[in-house]
Structure 1
Amino acid sequence: MIPGFRRLLSLSAALPLLAAVPAHADIDVARTKAAIQTSLDANYPKLDELYKDLHAHPELAFQEVRTAARLAAEMRALGFEVTEQVGKTGLVAIYRNGDGPTIMVRTELDALPMEEKSGLPYASREKTNWNGVETFVAHSCGHDIHMASWVGTAKTLLSMKDQWQGTLMFIAQPAEETVSGAKAMLADGLFTRFKKPDFAFGLHDSPRAYGTVAYRVGEISSNSDSLAIKFRGRGGHGSAPHLTIDPVLMAARFVVDMQGVISREKSPSEFGVVSIGAIHGGTAENIIPEDVTVLGTIRTYKPDVRSKILAGIERTAKAEAIMSGAPEPEIKITEGGKAVVNDAKVAEMSAKVLRAAFGDQLKPAPIGTASEDFSEYVNAGVPSLFFSIGVYDPQRVAAADAGGAQVAPNHSPFFAPVPKPTIETGIQAMTLAVLSAFDQRAAR
């Protein structure tokens, strides 16, 4: 859910974020890269099949039964102890390899309620019921890339288990898109039934060049809240609006007037966004409905800006109803994910190895405007690093940056990562990050 990664800052602008990271690592990076590549050469054909199968059979939040079962089978085949149905459809896979830290690696399971239009031969044609409505389902955020990289990282780490000691804790989390899966897993005992990890890692794909890895110290995503406002009126015939109280008009005015809160009530230097994603109401062109519901998302970084915007939403919605002589609207604000904050020590520890391995392909990332419930693990006290990987041909991205045809971002129906280089980069980066967190005791 992190399309905000799509525009990386220029390296010069963000250099202070990376300047403290030395260009060397404690592990033998050249030897480790060669070992990772050997594993990739052996395992990629099966990972490609896994990716395309997951892509063609996406499932929505807390419906990921087939997806979770496929991943559980993959991890059991590797020798992991797998516990299913953690947080409804989530799973936890544990592999112990002597004494050492416990390292958590997280992937997401869920897809989006939208139609895929990528034209890929393995494109999704799946449909399901979502909130009482039949909808298409598509992996247009790239969680299938994450899952294939997750399994591939597990395979790679086990092929190199003479180079690390400790415990792998691989979790497959449901319902990231609804910002509820991490909470569900934690509520179901993720850090009590299983050992709380010493470190945690996660990744997300972005519409940048494949082969690149981007990270930053500190905040890397936004706070997220959702709004649902039901405007109630009095229905009637479209030819006699004077006999009705029109909730469509109230909703339309609210959508426009809400932007005044953003542009006039917060400082232009502070980030804050309100976007309306859905308006539901009515059944026919000549019937003014009884009610209309407006759904939207609110993104902020700072608590005071969040409070100001939430107050503005409530005030504006009530004002629209008063102007129409309508009953007070039903206003529901749902708190979503908090900002993901990368731990400075973990980021530096990982960046030493990643810079040695990727060179100038390790990029500085801006703060994302999207949200991520990976923050729940961070807020539970686990030092963590969340980073991004690119998915598109570098020449296409360069042309887009120069003003040419734009590449499709996450959540676009045309989002179509190039699988092999993207998945391989994800495996390489995640494997190196995990190894950087383990106590290096193996003989080299």
Structure 2
Amino acid sequence: MAIPDDVFASLEQGLDWQRDLYKELHRAPELSMEEHRTAGRIESELAGFGYQVQRIGGTGIVGVLENGPGRTVLARADTDALPVAEATGLDYASETTGVMHACGHDLHVVSLLGAAKLMATHRAGWAGTYVALFQPGEEVAAGAQAMVADGLTDKLPQPDVAFAQHVMPFEAGTVGTTAGPILSAGDSLKVTVHGRGAHGSMPHNAVDPVVLAASIVLRLQTIVSRETKPGEFAVVTVGASNAGTKSNIIPDRAELLLNLRTYDVALRERIMASIERIVRGECAAAGSPRDPDFEYYDQFPLTSNDAETTQKITAAFTEHFGADRVFHAEPVTASEDFSRIPDAFGVPYSYWTVGSVPADIYRKAVEKGTVSEDIPANHSPFFAPAIDPTLSVATQTQVVAALAYLAP
């Protein structure tokens, strides 16, 4: 279902307000679970639109707009920034030292607020309930769970479907959808292995945790290369190996920081089991005096789009934007915690991507084969979505998806 002409005209007229708010939020980023000013700003806007507003999960904000009988749609935007020092040189660059909206969450907030305003000012074109949910702490996989733990499912009307989107570094003006996995599950793990310290000149008196950690790192590489079926996707990365303080001291412990990504829940469990098996086995082989310690953290669930829901919104996007601007998105190995929200309600969801790079710049990079070198990606200090047409498109997608379920 395309946006009716009067709604689209209203959207274009309101873009100045959205642009100004986007720049305001970009200048004042806040880290995960500390989005107090951002939350207050969202509250103020939603209340002004006529929504019933409540805080859930600390800095989480939800606005509910009831408009007669019908289905209920939940749309979510994330609100937190990253500990990144901005290097874009924009005239609206971050004014908070070492903190930046380097992933586009400020644009997510403003596009959902724009959609919330349009839904409120054009009630004659739909019926049901629209829920605009602004989630904190996505970057640390804490915000969605915090909202669920704070009684989210008891405090909101039961949705029939849930939506979320993300700006990505591809051509602005285009939208990518896919059924099934679109973002991988992600897990971080700290492994601590224990040895016996000694003087560096007397290694025979030690159980060297540095050598032990090195053996573990090498053996972990076989999980993907030798234990995972060819064609199945999995990543096991050792991002840090820390041990010791001085060249002539053999320490008594070493720490490894691991990250794994998967698109399959069963494979995820098998990989975790393999990691623990390998670590324990290498510790036993080295004569480690203590069992290793495993600490899982920053755990992101799999984001896997419901096929029927995705087919429905893809058709709506195609009708509205045209087939040349809607494409099949390949799964991305980044991770998200959005799915915890629809999973808590037990409802289907769809998560899509919106391009943010000016068309001429993106196409030139594609022709040259230099996209990864020339186009700053999410989390880069140079990441700077083109406000136009990205903000308009991201607002339209939210409205089009909602109307696909709420229009008469």
TM exceeding 0.5:
yes
Matched, 1:376 2:340: yes
SS in 2 for 1:298: strand
Query: Could you report, residue by residue, the CA deviation over 1:287-314 in whole angstroms, capped at 9, with x for unpaired residues?
Result: 6554333222211122332233112211
Structure 1 unaligned regions, length at least 5? 1-24, 128-135
Partner Cα separation in structure 1 for residue 276 and residue 167 of structure 2 = 35
Task: Please state how far the C-alpha of 1:354 moved relative to its aligned partner.
Answer: 1.0
Partner of 1:364: 328
Partner Cα separation in structure 2 for residue 243 and residue 45 of structure 1 = 71
User: Could you tell me which of 375, 397, 401 is aligned with 1:429?
Assistant: 397
Partner of 1:407: 375
SS in 1 for 2:300: coil
Task: Please state how far the C-alpha of 1:283 moved relative to its aligned partner.
Answer: 5.3
Matched, 1:182 2:144: yes
User: Could you tell me which of 256, 266, 274 is aligned with 1:294?
Assistant: 256
Partner of 1:114: 84
Partner Cα separation in structure 2 for residue 287 and residue 67 of structure 1 = 49
Partner Cα separation in structure 2 for residue 309 and residue 261 of structure 1 = 7
Matched, 1:393 2:332: no
Partner of 1:329: 292
Partner Cα separation in structure 2 for residue 123 and residue 239 of structure 1 = 53
Mean Cα deviation higher: 372-381 or 238-247: 238-247
Matched, 1:82 2:46: no
User: Could you tell me which of 211, 215, 225 is aligned with 1:263?
Assistant: 225
Partner Cα separation in structure 2 for residue 234 and residue 137 of structure 1 = 41
Partner amino acid, structure 2, of 1:376: R
Q: Any conservation in 1 of the 2:141–2:298 contact (CA below 8 Å)? A: no
Partner Cα separation in structure 2 for residue 288 and residue 40 of structure 1 = 65
Structure 2 unaligned regions, length at least 5? none
Q: Any conservation in 1 of the 2:186–2:299 contact (CA below 8 Å)? A: yes
Partner Cα separation in structure 1 for residue 203 and residue 96 of structure 2 = 41
Partner Cα separation in structure 1 for residue 6 and residue 215 of structure 2 = 60
Matched, 1:195 2:157: yes
Q: Any conservation in 2 of the 1:278–1:294 contact (CA below 8 Å)? A: yes
Partner of 1:222: 184
User: Could you tell me which of 339, 342, 353 is aligned with 2:302?
Assistant: 339
Partner of 2:29: 58
Over the residues paired in the alignment, what is the CA RMSD in angstroms? 2.5
* C-alpha spacing 1:299/1:101, structure 2 compared with 1 (3 Å): same
Partner of 1:99: 69
SS in 1 for 2:140: coil
User: Could you tell me which of 61, 65, 68 is aligned with 2:39?
Assistant: 68
User: Could you tell me which of 9, 31, 36 is aligned with 1:38?
Assistant: 9
SS in 1 for 2:222: helix
* C-alpha spacing 1:352/1:323, structure 2 compared with 1 (3 Å): same
Partner amino acid, structure 2, of 1:387: W
* C-alpha spacing 1:53/1:240, structure 2 compared with 1 (3 Å): farther
Q: Any conservation in 1 of the 2:305–2:351 contact (CA below 8 Å)? A: yes
* C-alpha spacing 1:288/1:144, structure 2 compared with 1 (3 Å): farther
Partner of 2:314: 351
Task: Please state how far the C-alpha of 1:275 moved relative to its aligned partner.
Answer: 2.1
Partner Cα separation in structure 2 for residue 141 and residue 343 of structure 1 = 25
Partner Cα separation in structure 1 for residue 249 and residue 82 of structure 2 = 32
Task: Please state how far the C-alpha of 1:213 moved relative to its aligned partner.
Answer: 0.6
Query: Could you report, residue by residue, the CA deviation over 1:226-252 in whole angstroms, capped at 9, with x for unpaired residues?
Result: 211123334566677666554444434
Q: Any conservation in 1 of the 2:53–2:62 contact (CA below 8 Å)? A: yes
Taking every aligned residue pair, what percent have the same amino acid on both sides? 39
Partner amino acid, structure 1, of 2:340: E
* C-alpha spacing 1:213/1:286, structure 2 compared with 1 (3 Å): farther
Matched, 1:147 2:112: no
Task: Please state how far the C-alpha of 1:142 moved relative to its aligned partner.
Answer: 1.4
Normalising by structure 2, report the TM-score: 0.89
SS in 2 for 1:336: strand
Partner Cα separation in structure 1 for residue 239 and residue 285 of structure 2 = 24
Task: Please state how far the C-alpha of 1:211 moved relative to its aligned partner.
Answer: 0.4
Normalising by structure 1, report the TM-score: 0.83
Partner of 1:20: none
Partner amino acid, structure 2, of 1:39: S
Partner Cα separation in structure 2 for residue 283 and residue 66 of structure 1 = 41
Partner amino acid, structure 2, of 1:416: A
Task: Please state how far the C-alpha of 1:180 moved relative to its aligned partner.
Answer: 2.6
Q: Any conservation in 2 of the 1:226–1:298 contact (CA below 8 Å)? A: yes
Partner Cα separation in structure 1 for residue 202 and residue 7 of structure 2 = 71
Partner Cα separation in structure 1 for residue 273 and residue 23 of structure 2 = 45
Partner of 2:239: 277
